[in-house]
Each structure stands twice: as structure tokens, then as C-alpha cells.
């Protein structure tokens, strides 16, 4: 019988899909972060998907936030794992080093996750997992343990390029900004996070998107995600199932304590940016209602 491995432990502790890949074959984007961990390139990255969607939120007509901004900010979930998962691993494997990253990571996450076998890369640039589509964040544990010791298997030959989606182009067709595949500078999600005044074109774009934060159009057009939604596959992680706010308005925002506000994805640009977006949408709504 196959021995219970570290990868098995991580899968059962997290309850989500996880795959390993040697650090030596990962693209290292921020080497200074790796240096700080003292984990050598002979170590391993264990990448895991963090599903965040409750499918009922997709069709909630009140929703004016991108789906990823409905639950609390996933960086808080990562902080929780730092105080739960990492101590458990250090208890099981006291002679090894572990570091946890997500978003701000030494490795190129999407590329490494897809090459490790966690999913494919979509034309929209996101990881698409078989289980949860692209409604996932990516997290990774880096360790000085070898791939063989993490998985109990000999390292296979990993693809030099990540596997890609079926390239149906539906995401690009659905994009209200006509974003070319590689150029995300016009992306509505980035625009909704821009500080300062918006130009009239940018204001129109935001109104066209209809959300006060982010944009889901490319993800909602993707056949892989439509299957997830059709089958009602919700995140199993209680952090993302609780404290969801599909809608916010200026009154709700003003009533939020700093602690509540800082738990939301839209807080990272400060109150002024989300307030500006909400006022734009609310003014347009009031104009429409005025006879």
C-alpha cells in the first residue's frame, strides 16, 4: 500500500485540489522572496486551488461586486492558514522548512499550477481547474523537501509550457473592453481599481460593466465555468461560504467599521476608489429613475 505522503496530508488538511512540482522547474519571478525562506531550488512547490464561489451568488440580481469580492478578502484566509496549516506541517515534519505564499509569490503561480497538473491556462490568463473552473485563487507551500519525498513518487518530466484551454474565444467575445489576450491594461477589473478621477470613457466603461468592483464577463462566458455553475459546485471552504456581501452601496460602506472594511477585497485601494465607483453607479441609477 502507498505510504501517506506530505502531499496527501496537505490535501486532507485543506480539502481542495493540490499538486506538487520541483522548485527547480518553476519560473521564479521574485527570487528575493525565495531567498528569504532559505528554501533551496532542490525543494518543492505544492500548489493548491482555493475555490471561492458560491454558485447562488452568480445569479443574485442584487450583486454589484465581482464574484471574488463577494466573500471576505482571500488574503485573510491565507493568514489563517499561516496559523493553522503551517504549524501542523512543522509539527509533522520538524526537520523541514515551509513557507506559504499566495498572490505575492516567488514563483509564477498560474504557470507552475498548470504545469504541476492543477488545471489549464485559459485565454483570459487564469488557471482553469477541472473541479472549480477558474473560480479559484492559487496558493502554494514551498518546502525544502524533495519532490520524491513530498509525493512518494519519482518526478515525471514536467511540460516546459503550461497546458492551455480549448481556445474557443468565448471569453474574448464577452469582454466589454475588447481586451486583447495579452494586454490587460484596459481590463475593467483594473479600471475599477484605478485611483483618482476617471475619464468620461472610463466612467462609461464602468457603467457598461455595471459592477462597482471588478468584472466577471470573461469568466462567466467560459464553458468550463458554465459547467461548474450548472452543477452547482460551491466552494467547500467555510471561510468563503460565510460573511458574503454580494452588494454594497454608499450607505453600507459609510456604516462599515475600519475592521469590516479592511476584510473586503475592495479595501486595498482605500475607501475613495470604491466610493467613487458606487457614486457613479448610484447617480446613473437615480437618473434612470427620474421621470
Q: Which residues does the annotation mark as catalytic?
A: 103
Q: Which of 53, 136, 188, 278 binds ligand SF4 (CB under 6 A)?
A: 188
The stretch among 20-28, 83-91, 185-193, 231-239 that binds ligand SF4 (CB under 6 A) is 185-193
* Residue of 209, 216, 206, 176 whose CA lies nearest to 277: 206
Nearer to ligand SF4 by Cβ, of 132 and 147: the residue is: 132
- φ/ψ of 100, rounded to 5, equals -115, 135
65 scored as a contact of ligand SF4 (CB under 6 A): no
Q: Which of 6, 58, 175, 211 binds ligand SF4 (CB under 6 A)?
A: 175
Q: Which of 18, 50, 99, 171 binds ligand SF4 (CB under 6 A)?
A: 171
23 scored as a contact of ligand SF4 (CB under 6 A): no
168 scored as a contact of ligand SF4 (CB under 6 A): yes
Cα–Cα distance, 272 to 34 (Å, whole number): 35
Longest CA–CA span in the chain (Å) reads 74
Cα–Cα distance, 104 to 108 (Å, whole number): 9
Quick note: the x/- pattern for ligand SF4 over 246-285, rule CB under 6 A, is: ----------------------------------------
Minimum distance, C-beta of residue 67 to ligand SF4, in the bound complex (Å): 11
Q: Which of 10, 16, 34, 221 binds ligand SF4 (CB under 6 A)?
A: 221
Map the footprint of ligand SF4 across residues 115-134, applying CB under 6 A.
Answer: 122-124
Q: Which of 58, 65, 218, 273 binds ligand SF4 (CB under 6 A)?
A: 218
Q: How many residues touch ligand SF4 (CB under 6 A)?
A: 25
The number of CA neighbours under 13 Å toward the Cβ of 259 is 0
Sign of CA dihedral 248, 253, 257, 262: positive
Sign of CA dihedral 29, 213, 14, 93: positive
Cα–Cα distance, 39 to 88 (Å, whole number): 18
Helix, strand, coil percent content, the chain, rounded in steps of 5: 45, 10, 45
227 scored as a contact of ligand SF4 (CB under 6 A): no
Nearer to ligand SF4 by Cβ, of 128 and 248: the residue is: 128
166 scored as a contact of ligand SF4 (CB under 6 A): yes
99 scored as a contact of ligand SF4 (CB under 6 A): no
**What region does 214 belong to: left with phi over 0, alpha with psi -120 to 50, or beta?**
left
The stretch among 72-80, 173-181, 230-238, 265-273 that binds ligand SF4 (CB under 6 A) is 173-181
Beta-carbon count within 10 A of 190 CB? 14
Q: Are strands 136-143 and 127-128 parallel, antiparallel or unpaired?
A: unpaired
Partners of residue 65 on adjacent β-strands: 213
Minimum distance, C-beta of residue 92 to ligand SF4, in the bound complex (Å): 37
Q: Which residues bind ligand SF4 (CB under 6 A)?
A: 122-124, 165-171, 174-177, 179, 187-189, 215, 217-218, 221-224
Amino acid at each position: 500500500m502507498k505510504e501517506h505522503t506530505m502531499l496527501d496530508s496537505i490535501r486532507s488538511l485543506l480539502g481542495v485540489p493540490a499538486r506538487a512540482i520541483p522548485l527547480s522547474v518553476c519560473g521564479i519571478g521574485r527570487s528575493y522572496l525565495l531567498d528569504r525562506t532559505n528554501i533551496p531550488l532542490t525543494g518543492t512547490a505544492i500548489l493548491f486551488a482555493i475555490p471561492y464561489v458560491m454558485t447562488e451568488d452568480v445569479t443574485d440580481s442584487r450583486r454589484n461586486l465581482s464574484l471574488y469580492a463577494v466573500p471576505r478578502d482571500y488574503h485573510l484566509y491565507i493568514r489563517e492558514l499561516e496559523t493553522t496549516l503551517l504549524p501542523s506541517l512543522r509539527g509533522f515534519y520538524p526537520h523541514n522548512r515551509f513557507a506559504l505564499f499566495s498572490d505575492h509569490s516567488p514563483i509564477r503561480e498560474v504557470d507552475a499550477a498548470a504545469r504541476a497538473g492543477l488545471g489549464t491556462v485559459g485565454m483570459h490568463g487564469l488557471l482553469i481547474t477541472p473541479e472549480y473552473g477558474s473560480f479559484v485563487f492559487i496558493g502554494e507551500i514551498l518546502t525544502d523537501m524533495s519532490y520524491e519525498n513530498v509525493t512518494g513518487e519519482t518526478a515525471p518530466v514536467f511540460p516546459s509550457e503550461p497546458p492551455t484551454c480549448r481556445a474557443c474565444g468565448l471569453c474574448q467575445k464577452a469582454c466589454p473592453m475588447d481586451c486583447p489576450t495579452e494586454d490587460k491594461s484596459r481590463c475593467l477589473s483594473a479600471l475599477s481599481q484605478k485611483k483618482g478621477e476617471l475619464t468620461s470613457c472610463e466612467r462609461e466603461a464602468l457603467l457598461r460593466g455595471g459592477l462597482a468592483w471588478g468584472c466577471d464577463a470573461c469568466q462567466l462566458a467560459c464553458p468550463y465555468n458554465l459547467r461548474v455553475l450548472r452543477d452547482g459546485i460551491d466552494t467547500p471552504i467555510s471561510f468563503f461560504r460565510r460573511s458574503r456581501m454580494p452588494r454594497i452601496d454608499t450607505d453600507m460602506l459609510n456604516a462599515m467599521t475600519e475592521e469590516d472594511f479592511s476584510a473586503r477585497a475592495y479595501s486595498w485601494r482605500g475607501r475613495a476608489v470604491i466610493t467613487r465607483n458606487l457614486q457613479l453607479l448610484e447617480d446613473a441609477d437615480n437618473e434612470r429613475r427620474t421621470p
